[in-house]
Amino acid sequence: MSTYQFNPLNPSFDTHAQNSTDDRKMIGTHTPGYPVFRSTGDILDPISIPGNSKNAVVDPTQYLREFNYGHVSQYSNGTNLREFTLVASDSEIKEVSPGVFYNVWTYNGTIPGPTIRATEGDKIKINFINNGSKPHSIHTHGIHPSEMDGVFDMIGSKGKFTYEFTAEPYGVYPYHCHMTPLEEHITHGLYGVMIIDPKTPRPQADEMVMVMNGYDTDFDTENNFYTVNGIPYFYMHNPIEINKNEPVRVYLVNMLEFDPINNFHLHANMFNYYPSGTSQTPVELNDIVTMSQGERGILEFKYKFPGNYMFHAHKTEFAEKGWMGVFNVVESSQHNDEDLRNNIADNLDNISVPKDQSFFKADSSQDGKDIGLENNKIAYNYSSNKVSNNSLHTNQQHANNPNGVISSYQNSTNSS
pLDDT tens-digit map of 311-352: 999 999 999 999 999 999 999 755 445 455 455 444 444 433
For 120, other C-beta atoms within 10 Å of its C-beta total 17
In DSSP terms, which residues pair with 194 in a beta bridge? 116, 173
**DSSP per position, 41-73:** TS--------TT-TTBS--HHHHHTEEE--EEE
Cβ neighbors of 11 (< 8 A, separation 6 or more) are none
pTM above 0.85, yes or no: no
**DSSP per position, 121-156:** T-EEEEEEEE-SSS-B--EE-SS--GGGSSSS-PBP
pLDDT at 8: 39
Q: Measured between alpha carbons, how far is residue 274 from residues 38, 73, 208, 249, 296 in Å?
A: 38, 31, 15, 11, 9
Could you please state the CATH topology (level 3) that the domain comprising 50-330 is classified under.
Immunoglobulin-like (2.60.40)
The Cβ-side half-sphere exposure at 395, using a 13 Å CA radius, reads: 10
Q: Measured between alpha carbons, how far is residue 256 from residues 108, 175, 323 in Å?
A: 20, 13, 11
Quick check: 395 and 387 in contact, CB under 8 A? no
In this prediction, what percent of the chain has a pLDDT beyond 70? 67
Cβ neighbors of 369 (< 8 A, separation 6 or more) are 164
pLDDT at 49: 36
pLDDT at 411: 37
Quick check: 69 and 118 in contact, CB under 8 A? yes
For 52, other C-beta atoms within 10 Å of its C-beta total 10
| pLDDT tens digits along 44-57 | 333 333 333 456 78
d(CA 243, CA 304): 9
What is the β-pairing status of strands 66-68 and 405-407?
A: antiparallel
Please provide the size of the chain in residues. 416
In DSSP terms, which residues pair with 246 in a beta bridge? none
Q: Which amino acid, one-letter code, is at 252?
A: L
| pLDDT tens digits along 135-158 | 999 999 999 999 999 899 899 999
Q: What is the mean pLDDT of the chain?
A: 77
Cβ neighbors of 271 (< 8 A, separation 6 or more) are 250, 285, 286, 287, 289, 299, 300, 301
Cβ neighbors of 64 (< 8 A, separation 6 or more) are 208, 209, 210, 229, 240
Return the closest-CA partner of residue 216 out of 190, 184, 239.
184
**DSSP per position, 197-257:** E-SSPPPP-EEEEEEEEEE-TTSSSS-SEEEETTSTTHHHHSPEEEETT--EEEEEEE---
pLDDT at 98: 85
pLDDT at 183: 92
Q: Which residues does the chain have with pLDDT short of 70?
A: 1-55, 333-404, 406-416
Quick check: 329 and 303 in contact, CB under 8 A? yes
Cβ neighbors of 336 (< 8 A, separation 6 or more) are none
Angle, CA of 385, 391 and 392, to the nearest 5°: 125
